[in-house]
Structure 1
Amino acid sequence: MLLAVLLLTARIFSPTSAYTLVEDFSGSNFLSGFNFFSGTDPTHGFVRYLNRADAESQGLISVSDSSIYIGVDSKHQAANGRASVRLESKGTYSHGLFILDLEHMPGGTCGTWPSFWTYGQDGQWPASGEIDIIEGVHTSTTNGMSLHTTDGCSVGNSLMAGSVKTPNCYIRAPGQSANTGCLVESSSAESYGTGFNERGGGVYAMEWTSTAIRIFFFSRSSLPADIRSSSPDPSTWGTPQANFGGSCDIDKHFSNHRIILDTTFCGDWAGATWSSTPQCAALAGSCIDYVRDNPADFRESYWRIRSLRIYQ
């Protein structure tokens, strides 16, 4: 009897992965899971999102067996917005483990606003929530991770490596700028933009359960073996960069998300902070002026993705 109890206890508390791979978007298969969004940018960016045919003909999309390149126009002046790509997943998700393996991301260039994120599909943003996994503007050196919700969700004092900049996830929270949500800044200088790219990229993982939304970052040299072997076990990964839990009913505020990857310019964030970013404001009178007139400065504003794997 005692032996049976010990064996049951060991099964309950042993850190074994409960996740099974359900979708693997990688290499030449990557685009099978995504649609090209070519409408007006919801964040009011100075951008023209292209459909697949136009993106391919202009060299903004390139797929190989090992990776996918997703870029922006870096050859032409852009009177009506710089050409770019926004991908939206065909499927929707509630809960799971989402692991993005990146060799290169946009960032480090004034005017840019790249994002890898998810949001709910009920049509009444942010009633079903938004999760920003990778996001920054201009010459940011660290990644910003955030949630955006309706009222009643805030970040607790859960263990995390990043720093809480704003605790309330409600987009109209008193004492916070509109639409900021609950924001955590990464502790790693390798997590975003130039620092990320100079070290060969890395891996982001977002775990979404009923109790918390956690975001992990691993540089290329520190990637856990269980991610390499496609048998991920977040319980062995240590402290996440962001740990969104505490005073928030996750299942009430987050459901049915599409996965989005895009690069926009200026708009509600990068445009609004242009004049308060000295190294950018010195380049042009406005964000739009700079993005319009300096195509070659955006040659590094591209994503190169090895894979996106989804586990549930």
Structure 2
Amino acid sequence: MSLTYLPLFITLLRGASALPATSYSLIDTYDYTNWLSKFSVQSISDPTHGYVNYVTQAQAQSEGLLKTVGNQVYIGVDSTSHLDPNGVGRDSVRLQSNPSYNHALVIADIAHIPGSDCGAWPAFWMVGPNWPNEGEIDIVEGVNLNTYDQVTLHTSSGCVPSVGSGGMSGTSTGNADCGASGGYTGCGVVSGSATSYGTAFNANGGGVYATLWTSSGIEVWYFPENSVPGDIKSGTPNPAGWGQPIANYAGCNFDAHFQNMNIIFDITFCGDWAGSVWSSSSCASINPSCPAYVASEPQSFADQYWLVNSVKVYSVS
């Protein structure tokens, strides 16, 4: 080969790495130093009709449900009170970020996810106003005894995603159209990793969830603590080198369906998902009623808490 063409040949061999790289600039960090200045506690009725009482910030702090533990943030539930199953529900905390986003790389370093317990329904997610028209991305979510995370998109009708280039490791579930039947079911992807959620996640030492949201797609990765990419640890994330994601949504007009999204952490009980599948789960053999079980077994929820190292949000350009 002529030396004249050697630089071109090397460039072709390098392929994508020779193309201009997407850059990610840190725009927000949520951690123990600023958590309550960047999140608002939402003392609201549960939109998913759970057996839960979302308390105020003052009550959450006085009950020890929202606090810092060393350099980590603890978000938990009441695990001592016996309750009336026809009452308001178990005390818990729901947090929503004050900033909202349009396109982002969101990296959550989580030491502990609420455990895989009958009746529990915790989630780490993003949502826009005027649901479902401005979208929802469920990043970490599960119910009852699940140990496999489920990623789900909820939208208005007309978003029918395909699997993006490179594929995904998870398995599709739910509707093809993320907005079918009002968007309540959504289009989900169940992780293939047995340590991606709940008790198994915690026993494995925690880990990192990374969500990349652009005009062309939404991708979600899970990394156990012992295999978090070095570029994430160094604060110079490069999703191009992370391999296959759990979920890889493409082929939808994402800009029309996902806008102005806030970050949310919550823990609810029973309700539209955990409650609706209660009778078909092994939990029903303990108690035929989800609210009755949650009301009468406070000690079962001692591991219903988030312990968060940080959430970092990067702009995408």
Provide TM-score, normalisation by structure 2.
Answer: 0.91
Answering whether residue 37 of structure 2 is matched by residue 32 of structure 1, we say: yes
Report the counterpart of residue 288 of structure 1 in structure 2. 291
Asked if structure 2 preserves the Cα contact closer than 8 Å seen for 1:98 and 1:309, the reply is yes
CA distance in 1, matches of 2:178, 2:209: 24
User: Following TM superposition, by how much is the alpha carbon of 1:168 offset from its aligned partner in structure 2, in angstroms?
Assistant: 1.8
CA deviation after TM superposition for structure 1 residue 30, in Å: 2.1
Tell me, what secondary structure is at the counterpart of 2:216?
A: coil
Determine the structure 1 residue equivalent to 2:201. Answer: 196
Paired position in structure 2 for 1:258: 262
Amino acid at match of 1:146: T
Q: Distance in 2 between matches of 1:14 and 1:77?
A: 60
For residue 173 of structure 2, give the secondary structure of its aligned residue in structure 1.
strand
Q: 1:238 to 1:191 in 2, by over 3 A?
A: same
The offset of 1:135, in angstroms, is 0.6
Q: Which stretch shifts more, 14-23 or 98-107?
A: 14-23
Could you say which residue in structure 1 is the equivalent of 2:273? 269
Q: Is the 8 Å Cα contact of residues 175 and 185 (structure 2) preserved in structure 1?
A: no
Aligned to 2:180: 172
CA offsets, 1:213-262, max 9 Å, x none? 0000000011000000011000000100000112x101111110111110
- CA drift of 1:178 comes to 6.8
CA distance in 1, matches of 2:261, 2:138: 12
Aligned counterparts of 2:176 and 2:49: Cα–Cα separation in 1: 24
1:35 Cα offset (Å)? 0.2
Q: 1:186 aligns with which of 187, 191, 197?
A: 191
Unaligned runs of 5+ in 2: none
Provide the C-alpha distance between the structure 2 equivalents of 1:19 and 1:196, rounded to a whole number of angstroms.
Answer: 27
> Using the alignment, how far apart are the partners of 1:253 and 1:199 within structure 2?
35
SS, match of residue 78 in structure 1: coil
Distance 2:268 2:112 in 1: 16
Contact 1:28–1:65 (8 Å) recurs in 2: no
Other structure's SS at 1:74 match:
coil
Per-residue deviation at 1:285?
2.1
Q: Secondary structure at the match of 1:20?
A: strand
- Per-residue CA deviations over 1:254-287 (Å, capped at 9, x if unaligned) read 110111110000011111111111x200111200
Letter of the aligned partner of 2:107 in structure 1?
A: I
Q: Where does 1:11-22 land on structure 2 (aligned, <5 Å)?
A: 13=18, 16=21, 18-22=23-27
Do the aligned partners of residues 65 and 21 (structure 1) sit closer, same or farther apart at CA in structure 2, a change above 3 Å counting? farther
1:309/1:7 CA distance change after superposition, 3 Å: farther
The residue aligned with 1:228 is 233
1:132 aligns with 2:138: yes
Aligned equivalent of 1:304? 307
Post-superposition shift, 1:29? 1.9
Q: Is the 8 A contact 2:132 2:183 kept in 1?
A: no
Look up the match of 1:207.
Answer: 212
Deviation at 1:78, TM superposition (A): 2.5
SS of the equivalent of 1:76 reads: coil
2:48 is aligned with 1:43: yes
1:63 equivalenced with 2:68 (yes/no): yes
Task: Give how far 1:84 is off.
Answer: 0.3
Percent of aligned positions with the same letter in both sequences? 44
**Is 2:58 the partner of 1:53?**
yes
* SS of equivalent to 2:180: coil
Q: Do the aligned partners of 2:157 and 2:183 also contact (CA within 8 Å) in 1? A: no
Going from structure 1 to structure 2, the CA distance change for 1:35 and 1:68 (only over 3 Å counts) comes to same
Higher mean displacement: 191-200 or 155-164? 155-164
Inter-partner Cα distance in structure 2 for 1:146 and 1:311: 21
Partners of 2:195 and 2:22 in 1: CA distance: 27
Using the size of structure 1 for normalisation, the TM-score is 0.92
